[in-house]
């Protein structure tokens, strides 16, 4: 029976004392401990019920569970110790005749036992009223070790995400700086190209003006036939200067 109970609950402090001195127990002690075991099992089953809400599970675990488990443990150990001591004193030689309620050998001990039970029951009742039936039915108590492992895993995961986010932010910052530097370089190159184009435009305008002026002079000073030959010669010279002389001007990087 004890092994069957062990499968129902993982609390070793409850079952460690089941096999201690079981052959020397009186009927009264066996009955008292049986009632105590039943009450303890009922309280633990109520504590360990599952819940669907994560908020309810967290509230039960972080606020209610340690306090209630400690209360059950203290209640069980106090009740058991007092009951065993009372039974031991009651069954000693010379004390069996003192069996009436008013002549008990341990009236103060019995009073402390009843007071301890009353305080424990009131504490549990106040907790039940504070939680309410819905919260008790829907709350889930997780294994502390599993919760600790889950918390550590979550912290590691959060730290890894933060580190990855910082690396991404640094990469974005470097890319922005590189893009800004390239934009400045492109603007400088564009300005240089525009300046070269302006210089070429002014040179072309000067050449057109010079060509027009030479043509007018030739028409005025040379006869028509000679003027045509001279014009052709000047034209060839001009074209030669245009393609040869001006071609040696500084290179234009477009």
Determine, yes or no, domain membership for 151: no
CB 162 within 8 A of CB 71: no
- As a whole number of angstroms, the distance between CA 92 and CA 43 comes to 34
Position 174 in a domain: yes
Q: What total number of domains does the chain contain? A: 2
Position 193 pLDDT exceeds 50: yes
Tokens standing for 136?
């008790």
Residue 45: both structure tokens together: 């089953």
Question: CA–CA separation, 68 vs 79, rounded Å?
Answer: 16
Mean pLDDT of all residues in 142-170: 72
Mean pLDDT of the chain: 68
Alpha-carbon gap, residue 36 to 44, rounded angstroms: 12
Q: Which of these three, 111, 142, 173, is where a domain ends?
A: 142
Q: Tell me, yes or no, whether 99 and 167 share the same domain.
A: no
User: Among all chains, which residue has been given the structure tokens 């435009």?
Assistant: 201
Q: CA–CA separation, 113 vs 126, rounded Å?
A: 20
| Tokens 């234009």 belong to residue | 252
Q: Please give the angle made by the CA atoms of 112, 114 and 119, to the nearest 5 degrees.
A: 90
Q: What percent of the chain lies above the pLDDT cut of 90?
A: 0
Q: pLDDT at position 112, please?
A: 47
Q: Per-residue pLDDT for 235 more than 50?
A: yes
Please give the C-alpha separations between residue 21 and each of 25, 73, 158, in angstroms, as whole numbers. Answer: 7, 20, 52
What are the structure tokens assigned to 164, written together?
Answer: 């990855």
Band the pLDDT of 69: cuts 50, 70, 90. Answer: confident
Structure tokens at 119: 């305080």
Residues 56 and 29 in one domain: yes
> For residue 83, what are the domain limits?
2-142
168 and 67 belong to one structural domain: no
> In the predicted model, is pLDDT for residue 98 greater than 60?
no
CB 52 within 8 A of CB 36: no
Q: Please say if the pLDDT value at position 89 is more than 70.
A: yes
Percent of the chain surpassing pLDDT 70: 50
H or E stretch covering 94: none
10 & 128 share domain: yes
């Amino acid at each position: 029976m004890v092994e069957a109970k062990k499968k129902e609950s993982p609390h070793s402090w409850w079952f460690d004392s089941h096999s201690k001195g079981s052959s020397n127990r009186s009927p009264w002690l066996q009955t008292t401990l049986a009632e105590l075991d039943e009450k303890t099992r009922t309280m633990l089953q109520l504590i360990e019920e599952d819940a669907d809400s994560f908020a309810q599970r967290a509230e039960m675990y972080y606020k209610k569970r340690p306090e209630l488990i400690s209360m059950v443990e203290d209640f069980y150990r106090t009740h058991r110790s007092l009951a065993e001591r009372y039974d031991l004193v009651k069954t000693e030689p010379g004390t069996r005749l003192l069996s009436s309620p008013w002549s008990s050998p341990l009236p103060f001990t019995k009073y402390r036992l009843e007071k301890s039970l009353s305080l424990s029951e009131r504490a549990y009742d106040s907790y039940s009223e504070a939680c309410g039936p819905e919260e008790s039915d829907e709350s889930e108590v997780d294994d502390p070790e599993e919760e600790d492992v889950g918390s550590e895993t979550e912290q590691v995961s959060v730290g890894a995400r933060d580190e990855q986010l910082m690396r991404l932010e640094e990469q974005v910052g470097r890319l922005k700086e590189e893009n800004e530097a390239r934009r400045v370089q492109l603007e400088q190159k564009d300005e240089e190209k525009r300046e070269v184009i302006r210089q070429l435009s002014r040179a072309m305008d000067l050449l057109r003006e010079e060509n027009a002026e030479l043509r007018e002079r030739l028409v005025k000073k040379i006869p028509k036939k000679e003027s045509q030959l001279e014009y052709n010669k000047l034209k060839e010279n001009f074209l030669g200067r245009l393609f040869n002389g001006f071609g040696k001007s500084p290179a234009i990087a477009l």
